[in-house]
Chains A and B, each alone.
Chain A
Amino acid sequence: MRFMRKSAHRSRWVAMLALVLLVATGCGDSQEVAQEPEGGDDTERGTVVVGSTNFSEQEIVAEMYALVLEDAGYTVERRFQLGSREVVLPALEQGEIDLYPEYVGTALEFLSGGAGEATSDTAATTEKLRERFADKGVAVLEPAPAQDRNGLVVTQETADRLGLETVSDLEAHAGELVFGGPPECPQRPLCLQGYEEAYGLEFAEFRPLDAAGPVTWAALENGDIDVALMFTTQGVIEDKGWVLLEEDAELQPAENIVPVIREEVLTDEIADLLDGVSARLTTEAITALNREVDAEAADPRSVAEAWLQENGLIS
């Protein structure tokens, strides 16, 4: 009798373990937000993993890439908001993602370790970037007209008080000002290092925050930082009545948005689809879309979808 009870318990125990394992292995594939191919022809099309770094614009543009690919019948796995370029670029090289939106100038300076090869010439900078990426098995497609550069932003009050219009105007005051930006900024040739070298700005303190996101906005609004590193296409700058200081020493190079993709997955068809997006993507367009997401809490996917439809890029 005793023995029977025990073995009954044991079988329950085993059953529970089996249940746990079943749950663990069975309910899979939820992460890939896969969609059924909608393409008309019956060619076999693979899965493309689209990634993005950690700010709204990246997610919007990555959604555009994802949506046109899906529309053409590809299965897309979205891996957005993975972190800084320092996280996402190695993920691309290792094949964890296949594709993400880059910026020609910053990407080039990043890969070259700040060799200063990036210029305001989009074509030349893109060509250099292709060379840098070539041995990594990564292709650089056609850059969009849209450019998004790093920029320094202050509140209207700070601008008035110190008489700031250009980045150079900061030089006399930098010693008393706190500069806030993404944690990777001090190591970036076009961020803190660049502002020190090109403009001689030695800020009183650098405060690591986020990639021009809500932490940076709140810290600037609060007065915890005086100068913020933001992106020139952020509609939120105008929305909040902040001042984007004018670049007068040409630190920031051409920063056209460009898809970078692993050669292994690249086909002519994929290149055409992504080039189609880039061809229509202007600075004005992306600025407006960023504003919708940042200031109106719109979803990157719906914003991207509406824009693609307006431009006849998806059905």
Chain B
Amino acid sequence: MTAVARRFPDWDWLASHGGEVAAQLSEHVELTALAVAAGFLVAVPLALLARRVPPLRGPLLGFTGVLYTVPALALFVLLLPFVGLSRANPVIGLTIYSLLILLRNTLVGLEGVPAEVRESALAMGHTRRQLLWRVEVPVALPAIVAGVRLATVSTVGLVTITALIGYGGLGQLILRGFNRTNATQLVAGLVLSVALAAVADVALAWAQRRLTPWQESRTA
């Protein structure tokens, strides 16, 4: 067992490294937000496309399901020949993972509209666009936001792994604390990462209730 040279918890370390901790926290938030936002911007059109062209549904879900089983670390490593160690590496990798969750939830949400409702809406003279915005999207919204919550929480966890390619946000604190057997630094990264995920989850749950007041709130 490696001797822990520093006492734990070392409040002095925390007090004197507030700047470093804050910088990594903000980096963590940024990477997460970029990945979830980019994932969202790709997932929603894809889901709408799959709605329009039903034969695409199976292959899309299958492909994204397979991609999801590729270990995150391998994905970042395999992006190296294409984007090197640039910021695009963690962002693209994390986006792919959030995309998978978002696509699945958006599709499930859109499919929650009963066929009769769609047909009667069309019969009443709604255009497809109106059907989408007035019927399908409101019905799908809870599932979509639930997807955003899930994607956000899991992305917050995944970001830490990008420490192995020089990013990582709070994962940097974890990795550095580990390399220097500074348990305070490591645990600070770990606790803040959980706290960040919890705060994001609660905030998005709140947004979910505000966006869909007609919907009973449900636990994901």
A16 near B180: Cβ-Cβ < 8 Å: no
The stretch from B26-34, B54-62, B102-110, B188-196 touching chain A is B26-34
- With a cutoff of 8 Å between Cβ atoms, the chain B residues found around residue A294 in the complex are 180
On chain A, the number of residues with a Cβ less than 8 Å from chain B's Cβ atoms is 42
- With a cutoff of 8 Å between Cβ atoms, the chain A residues found around residue B1 in the complex are 218, 221-222
- With a cutoff of 8 Å between Cβ atoms, the chain B residues found around residue A24 in the complex are 30, 33-34, 37-38
A16 near B26: Cβ-Cβ < 8 Å: no
Q: Does B199 contact A (CB under 8 A)?
A: no
- With a cutoff of 8 Å between Cβ atoms, the chain B residues found around residue A96 in the complex are 84-86
- With a cutoff of 8 Å between Cβ atoms, the chain A residues found around residue B38 in the complex are 24
Q: Provide the B169-203 mask, 1 if CB < 8 A to any CB of A, else 0.
A: 00010011011111000000000000000000000
Kindly identify, within residues 246 to 303 of chain A, every residue whose CB is under 8 Å from any CB belonging to chain B: 293-299
- With a cutoff of 8 Å between Cβ atoms, the chain B residues found around residue A91 in the complex are 84-85
Q: Does A134 contact B (CB under 8 A)?
A: no
- Known: A10-B133, A12-B210. Contact between A30 and B30, CB under 8 A? yes
- With a cutoff of 8 Å between Cβ atoms, the chain B residues found around residue A31 in the complex are 23, 27, 30, 87, 167
A9 near B37: Cβ-Cβ < 8 Å: no
B27 near A56: Cβ-Cβ < 8 Å: no
Kindly identify, within residues 191 to 232 of chain A, every residue whose CB is under 8 Å from any CB belonging to chain B: 213-214, 217-218, 221-222
- With a cutoff of 8 Å between Cβ atoms, the chain B residues found around residue A13 in the complex are 141, 211
B36 near A20: Cβ-Cβ < 8 Å: yes
Inter-chain CA distance A213–B26, complex, in Å, is 28
- Known: A21-B37, A214-B181. Contact between A9 and B211, CB under 8 A? yes
A16 near B84: Cβ-Cβ < 8 Å: no
- With a cutoff of 8 Å between Cβ atoms, the chain A residues found around residue B37 in the complex are 20-21, 24
Q: In the complex, which of the residues A16, A27, A56 contacts B179, with contact meaning CB atoms closer than 8 Å?
A: A56
Number of A-B contacts (CB under 8 A): 94
> Chain A interface secondary structure, helix, strand, loop or mixed?
helix
Q: Does B166 contact A (CB under 8 A)?
A: yes
On chain B, the number of residues with a Cβ less than 8 Å from chain A's Cβ atoms is 42
- With a cutoff of 8 Å between Cβ atoms, the chain A residues found around residue B84 in the complex are 90-91, 94, 96
Q: In the complex, which of the residues B30, B34, B166, B182 contacts A81, with contact meaning CB atoms closer than 8 Å?
A: B166
Q: Does A4 contact B (CB under 8 A)?
A: no
Q: Provide the B129-152 mask, 1 if CB < 8 A to any CB of A, else 0.
A: 000011000100100000000000
Nearest-Cβ distance from residue A222 to partner chain B, whole angstroms: 8
Q: Provide the A89-108 mask, 1 if CB < 8 A to any CB of B, else 0.
A: 01100101100000000000
Q: Does A87 contact B (CB under 8 A)?
A: yes
Kindly identify, within residues 71 to 85 of chain B, every residue whose CB is under 8 Å from any CB belonging to chain A: 80, 84-85
Determine the residue in chain A with the shortest Cβ distance to B26: A30
- Known: A9-B211, A12-B211, A30-B23. Contact between A20 and B182, CB under 8 A? no
- With a cutoff of 8 Å between Cβ atoms, the chain A residues found around residue B176 in the complex are 81
Q: Does B165 contact A (CB under 8 A)?
A: yes
CB pairs A–B below 8 angstroms (20 shown): A6-B134, A10-B133, A13-B211, A16-B207, A23-B33, A24-B37, A30-B26, A56-B179, A56-B180, A79-B166, A80-B166, A81-B175, A81-B176, A87-B85, A87-B165, A213-B179, A217-B2, A297-B5, A297-B180, A299-B180
Please name the 3 residue pairs, one residue from A and one from B, whose CB atoms are nearest each other, closest first.
A30-B26, A82-B166, A24-B33
B interface residues with partner A (beta carbon < 8 Å): 1-2, 5-6, 17, 23, 26-27, 29-30, 33-34, 36-38, 40, 80, 84-87, 133-134, 138, 141, 163-167, 172, 175-176, 178-182, 207, 210-212
